[in-house]
Amino acid sequence: MNQSPLISVIIPIYKVENYLQPCVDSVLAQTYQNLEVILVDDGSPDNCGKLCDAYAEKDKRIVVIHKPNGGLSDARNAGLDVCKGELIAFVDSDDLVHHQFIELLYNGLTKNNADMAFCGVSKFYDDDNVDDKITNSSANVNMVLFDQTQMFDELLFERRSVYEHIVSWNKLYTKKIWDVLRFPKGRIHEDEFVIHHILDLCEKITYIDSALYFYRQRKDSIMFVKRTAKQLLDKYYAFEDRKAYFRKKGIKHTALNEKQKFALWDSFFIIADSPLKDVENFGNIIKDDLSAKTKVKLLLKRYTPGFFHFILKVGEGHSKNTVN
């Protein structure tokens, strides 16, 4: 790599007129300046396209793509198709990044000769003031180095926040990863579909133990609206893809831990009421993977929710009073 390689930051944009400016400003204010900032206007019906063009006129580092709406995966892929950086990052257009986000990830990646670096995530709401957090110095940060096997364990057993492991936007990647990968078009849980394939291309991964990415909690976002059968099925298919990957690689892990199995099987009651044609096998496949204890918990939650939550509270109280 060059002393200061070009880093491409891809920002997919759709209906975020009220959030776009603070997001892009936080990227342009990075202490690491050798950036290519790719704004992908994914057929946004508001003024996002005009805002993108105005930014391009002010800063030569910005590249604008206008395209018909194709969804988040398609927008990210469009950015990947044109990016020129030796390293690549993604930022969602309603989020914010610390002013050392790129610099610290880059340092962590190069110091350890890693293939990918990722950082902590801090959630915030529209009425939160995070300006001070974005500009605070984070010079003293801890780095944790993982090999591929350790990272798979972290992912499978959720030893850290699930957002930090799976999402695409708190990470810095070497370009070789995206030379052979793209996001699955039309899927909602696109990050779930690609994370195991990303790790397959990484020998070493650096974790920066500091919240450098600020994840906006919007009530109208896809993660906050009522779950749909499509969303739940995509999550299930992502796990099935992961299971097939593990089987192919001979990795002795199931694709789901017990907590994830519980959540997916619980979701089946929503999916089963939908008119989608591909729900028939969902329940049979998932329930075969469940332990007897988890099946009992699911039945209790489904048919006696009051008793289920009472049992949970009793269990939590017992755990707190237990001395190891």
Q: What is the pLDDT of residue 192?
A: 86
Q: Who has greater pLDDT, 165 or 90?
A: 90
Q: Who has greater pLDDT, 98 or 2?
A: 98
Q: What is the pLDDT of residue 48?
A: 97
- Report whether pLDDT(58) > 70: yes
By mean pLDDT, which of 9-18, 22-31, 162-171, 199-208 is the weakest? 162-171
Q: What is the pLDDT of residues 168-192, one digit of tens each?
A: 999 999 999 999 999 999 887 788 8
Q: What is the pLDDT of residue 271?
A: 47
Q: What is the pLDDT of residue 260?
A: 55
pTM: 0.79
SS3 117: strand
- Report whether pLDDT(135) > 50: yes
C-alpha torsion sign, points 41, 47, 53, 58: negative
Confidence band, pLDDT 50/70/90 cuts, at residue 100:
very high
SS3 11: strand
- Report whether pLDDT(136) > 90: no
- Report whether pLDDT(322) > 50: no
**What is the average pLDDT value for the chain, to the nearest integer?**
81
Q: What is the pLDDT of residue 154?
A: 76
Q: Who has greater pLDDT, 136 or 70?
A: 70
Question: DSSP labels for 57-106?
Answer: HH-TTEEEEEE----HHHHHHHHHHH---SEEEE--TT-EE-TTHHHHHH
Q: What is the pLDDT of residue 159?
A: 57
Give Cβ neighbours of residue 137 (< 8 Å, ≥ 6 apart).
100
* CA 155 from centroid of its chain's CA atoms: 12
Can you tell me the distance from the alpha carbon of 163 to that of 312, in angstroms, rounded to the nearest whole number? Answer: 25
Q: What is the pLDDT of residues 248-292, one digit of tens each?
A: 877 665 545 555 555 555 555 544 444 444 444 555 545 555 566
Confidence band, pLDDT 50/70/90 cuts, at residue 161:
low
Domains of the chain: 7-217 (3.90.550.10), 243-321 (no CATH)
Q: What are phi and psi of 180, to 5 degrees?
A: -120, 0
Q: What is the pLDDT of residue 215?
A: 93
The mean per-residue pLDDT over the stretch 91-96 comes to 96
